[in-house]
Amino acid sequence: MNAAVAQEVWKGQTIDGKFPLLEWLGGSAHSAVFRTQLPGLSTQTAAIKLIHADRPDAAQQIGSSGARWLYVAMEFAEENVDQVLPVRPLSMTEVAELLPPVIDALSYLHARGLVHAGIKPSNICAVKNQVKLSIDSVRPTNMVVKPYSLTAYDAPESESGNLSAAADMWSLGMTLVAAFDQRPLTWSRTNTLDPAVPKSVPGLYGQIARDCLRMNPTERCSLARIKDLSYQEPPLPKPPSPKETNPKKFVVPLVAVLALGLLVVAVKPRHRNASQIAPVAPAVTEQHSVEQQPTASVSKKPTAYSARSGAVAKPPAKTSANVIESRPSAQGVVSQVLPQVPRSARETIHGKIRVKVRVAVDPNGGVSAANLVAAGPSRYFARLALEASRQWKFQPGGVDGQSSPAQWLLEYRFGRSSTEVTPVAVR
């Protein structure tokens, strides 16, 4: 779906009378993702993905054609790995803490005759200090679905549309490469030689990537093999000082994102009337539930995998991983929230990164809407600013007791040592 069309025509519509399309988050030629709110829970943000029913897998499920869309509402992810990689590669510590829960989640799916069919950085998300895996691509093993387009993360056999657990292993290996090299490998589907893993992927992770990136599916590394690896672990960095109390993202167990609903809706984008977006089929009941969090089995053998599993089993700290509160800096501001930027990300900044966000304030002083006015050069920092802006609190009724909700312009300035923000009331 064209981004400009989605933002100008779709934004503001309400899907199925329950899910307002508040903000365009991303999409492709056959799908679109918007920020929305859960019915009856106006303060709980969610994400809604629209998938065109002309897709072969969707058309097969609903047996229809025309301007119809599937939608699925799910938890809103503040960040995913794909948003971090343009700024910096992941560290060995982050990958060490990320890999075991991803493997556990895949083990959970494979044991139930399912494949994820979409392992890649953009589908590994951070939600409230937890790493979660998007599940909108999950399907039964060997279910033939002809793909719209293929990427480097799709296994060589993906062209046939018949995927097995081995295809997930290819995707996992390519994701490891991208985590360290900030991009996937470039390879040819007509080549019979296995792609070469770059030296930037160190030790254990390079070996796992090489074992996963085999052109022949039967030669790829299995999940059990990865769990049993006894390669020497890379040295751990020094523990953080007591002052560093905020947890990093991508360091806690992964659980499957729970889909809240899946319906087919008829859409007429030319009209903004919510009554023209109506369901045409009953809700689809999933035959294979992936709601429960996979339980990691920890071997008594002190392997690299089991040691890392123990590291991520710690519960997350109560402090938010991406924002900190500070004192109000302008009249009318009750509570302002600043993004907390990891030190490794700050080290990539040269000068100042400026992001401007416009927020609308409801009668209770909360933020009812936040939109980027100037995103700056980095999607990563723009996302941090946008998420922090949604948590600000203002004087109820607007500035100086105005009866109508106020609007504010928040200008963030990210530097190597600190983050500054200037709030300006918009009359």
C-alpha dihedral (86, 194, 100, 301), degrees to nearest 10: -140
Query: Collapsing DSSP states into helix, strand and coil, what is residue 344?
Result: helix
Confirm if 127 and 78 have CB atoms less than 8 A apart.
Answer: yes
Confirm if 158 and 167 have CB atoms less than 8 A apart.
Answer: yes
Amino acid 284 reads V
Domain locations along the chain: 1-77+257-287, 85-253+293-319, 323-426
pLDDT at 134 over 70: yes
Confirm if 134 and 72 have CB atoms less than 8 A apart.
Answer: no
List the single range of 9-13, 57-61, 137-141 with lowest mean pLDDT: 57-61
Amino acid 110 reads H
Measured CA to CA in angstroms, residue 196 lies from 106, 152, 173, 234, 240 at distances of: 24, 13, 12, 21, 35
Contacts of 322 (CB under 8 A, 6+ apart): 78, 79, 126, 249, 339, 340, 384, 387, 388
The stretch 68-82 carries a mean pLDDT of 81
Q: Where are the alpha helices (DSSP H) in 26-144?
A: 56-62, 81-84, 92-111
pLDDT band at residue 165 under the 50/70/90 scheme: very high
- For residue 263, the cross-strand partners are 71
Report the relative pairing of strands 124-127 and 130-133 from DSSP bridges.
antiparallel
What's the first-to-final CA gap in the chain, in angstroms? 35
Distance CA 370, CA 377 (A): 19
pLDDT band at residue 59 under the 50/70/90 scheme: very low
User: Token pair of 29, please?
Assistant: 């030629």
Domain 85-253+293-319 class?
mainly alpha
Distance CA 292, CA 312 (A): 18
List the single range of 192-206, 262-276, 386-400 with lowest mean pLDDT: 262-276
pLDDT band at residue 227 under the 50/70/90 scheme: confident
Query: Collapsing DSSP states into helix, strand and coil, what is residue 341?
Result: coil
Distance CA 81, CA 272 (A): 34
Angle between helices 203-212 and 92-111 (to 10 degrees): 30
Contacts of 66 (CB under 8 A, 6+ apart): 53, 266
Q: What is the pLDDT of residue 166?
A: 96
Higher confidence at residue 14 or residue 1? 14
The superfamily in CATH containing domain 323-426 is TonB (3.30.2420.10)
Q: What is the pLDDT of residue 292?
A: 37
The stretch 187-200 carries a mean pLDDT of 92
Confirm if 145 and 158 have CB atoms less than 8 A apart.
Answer: no
Give the CATH fold of the 1-77+257-287 domain: Phosphorylase Kinase; domain 1 (3.30.200)
Matching residue, tokens 């200037």: 422
pLDDT at 296 over 80: no
User: Token pair of 209, please?
Assistant: 């990537």
